[in-house]
Amino acid sequence: MLVPEKRIADFEKMGFGMFVHWGLYSQMGQGEWIKHCADIPMEEYKKLFDTFTAEDFDAERMVLAAKAAGCKYITLTTRHHEGFSLYDTCGLNDFDAPHSPAKRDLVKEYVDACNKHGIVPFFYHTTLDWEQETFEKDFDTYLEYLRKSVEVLCTKYGKIGGLWFDGNWSKPNADWKLDELYGTIRKYQPEAMIINNTGLGAGGALGHPEIDSVTFEQGRPTPMDRTGMTKYVSAEMCYTLNDHWGIGYSDLNYKSPKELIECLCDCRKVGANLLLNIGPTAQGGIEPIQEEYLKLMGRWTSVFGEAIYEGKPYSISENNRDFLLKGEDGTIYLFAYDIGRLGSENVVAHGGFNPDRSFPLKGDTIAEIRWMDNDEELQFTQDGDKLNVVCTGFPYGYSYCVRVAKVTTK
């Protein structure tokens, strides 16, 4: 049986993180791929550098928004595909925030705020670069530039949670010299997670042996099959609030809070983390609607977060939606979907609500089951390794989308 290394176990236990996509593209408000999708020449696109002030970027406010949502870590785009860096590249180039009108090392501000408020900082870093001509013309030279960039991030900001790479899918047959890149991280940040996004088309794929977590993008993650793996590898799914990662001012297609809450639960159902994205405004502020979404997530995690952080996959119900997680102390957490509300028939639609749910057990004997939100005791029967529970509906005035009960064993 594979046992996770400490950094991987710690990562899994965090459970819920916030992704932040912010760069020069944010000034256009049409998503982070706008340069590529609109075929904007680099010399034209780079004019955005001259208007990047970061005047609305408040790292502490951003970190506190993540904390209010129940996030335990943040992954910030220190450099996206456009090639612009939010950090001081220490002479590697001048296409960075300290040389822009912002004149600030924004990654330092971010890390300082994370450390102040107990949030673990992660660094997203592109491997695909539209600004560096060597990416196409002299790939070995480019790879050394990339490695030195990562070395800066590993040596100038103290302890970090990990590096989250994105872009190797752009040259699937190239030699990315990953031993050298990942070796640099292990040299300076031996406890950092190494993650390399496999993109929309290859979710859950495992690459280099130094990778600590596979990735999923949008949709839902699948259960991890660690058969044949040489080490325990975790999983993480990144997810947008609407349809874009970088801010899209005309993207009104926001997901419902119910979908986001269910997504978080679905991730934990299979042992994956959820990395929920926000896209700051042109100069780094957080749109009010995105801040409110984070607050809504926090209302849920403030009640049921223990189950998200402590529980690991245990079993899935007969309806294939509800499930059980189990903590290291033996506590079982029961997740129930679509349980409806109680109340007068004049205001509450009762159609289709089935309170009876069944779950397979693995040798545990159940003593008591109580909802975590109001401590109501639930009726249940146990027939060997089958648990039958009457999942009562939400009291009138409440609807948490997914309800969680704490199951005590004998």
Contact in structure between 125 and 164 (CB atoms under 8 Å): yes
Name the pLDDT band for 219 (thresholds 50, 70, 90).
Answer: confident
From-to residues of CATH 3.20.20.80 in the chain: 6-310
**Strand 332-337 to strand 162-166: parallel, antiparallel, or no bridges (unpaired)?**
unpaired
326: its two tokens: 């189990």
What average pLDDT does the chain have?
95
| Structure-derived torsion over alpha carbons of residues 94, 97, 103, 104, reported in degrees to the nearest 10 | -130
* pLDDT of 334 over the 90 cut: yes
Per-residue pLDDT at 354? 85
From-to residues of CATH 2.60.40.1180 in the chain: 313-409
Each residue of 7-33: pLDDT tens digit?
Answer: 999 999 999 999 999 999 999 999 999
Contact in structure between 236 and 73 (CB atoms under 8 Å): no
Each residue of 64-121: pLDDT tens digit?
Answer: 999 999 999 999 999 999 999 999 999 999 999 999 999 999 999 999 999 999 999 9
Name the pLDDT band for 207 (thresholds 50, 70, 90).
Answer: confident
Per-residue pLDDT at 198? 81
* pLDDT of 176 over the 80 cut: yes
The topology (CATH level 3) of 6-310 is TIM Barrel (3.20.20)
Each residue of 112-170: pLDDT tens digit?
Answer: 999 999 999 999 999 999 999 999 999 999 999 999 999 999 999 999 999 999 999 99
Mean pLDDT of the 306-321 span: 95
Q: Assess if CATH 2.60.40.1180 describes domain 313-409.
A: yes
Per-residue pLDDT at 199? 64
How far apart CA 259 and CA 262 sit, in angstroms, is 5
